[in-house]
Amino acid sequence: MDINTLKDAVARVRVIPVLVLDDISLARPLAEALVRGGLNVLEITLRTPNALRIMSEMAKVEGAIVGSGTVRGFDHMQQSVDAGCQFMVSPGAPRELLASAQNIDIPLLPGVSSPTEAMGAAEMGYSFLKFFPAQAMGGTAVLKSFASPFPDLVFCPTGGVSPANAPNYLGLCNVICVGGSWVTPTELVEKKDFAAIEGLARQATLLGR
- Catalytic pick from 32, 43, 57, 198? 43
H or E, element range at 208:
none
Residue 16, classed as helix, strand or coil, is strand
Q: Which residue, among 51, 16, 13, 7, has the nearest Cα to 158 in the 3D structure?
A: 16
- Catalytic pick from 32, 96, 123, 130? 130
Residue 57, classed as helix, strand or coil, is helix
Residue 57 designated active-site: no
Q: Residue 28 phi/psi, 5° resolution?
A: -70, -45
Answer yes or no: are the C-beta atoms of 124 and 95 closer than 8 Å.
Answer: yes
Q: How far apart are CA 194 and CA 190, in angstroms?
A: 10
Answer yes or no: are the C-beta atoms of 20 and 47 closer than 8 Å.
Answer: yes
Residue 190 designated active-site: no
Which residues contact residue 128 at a Cβ distance below 8 angstroms, ignoring those fewer than 6 apart?
Answer: 3, 6, 7, 107, 109, 153, 154, 155, 156, 176
Catalytic residues: 43, 130
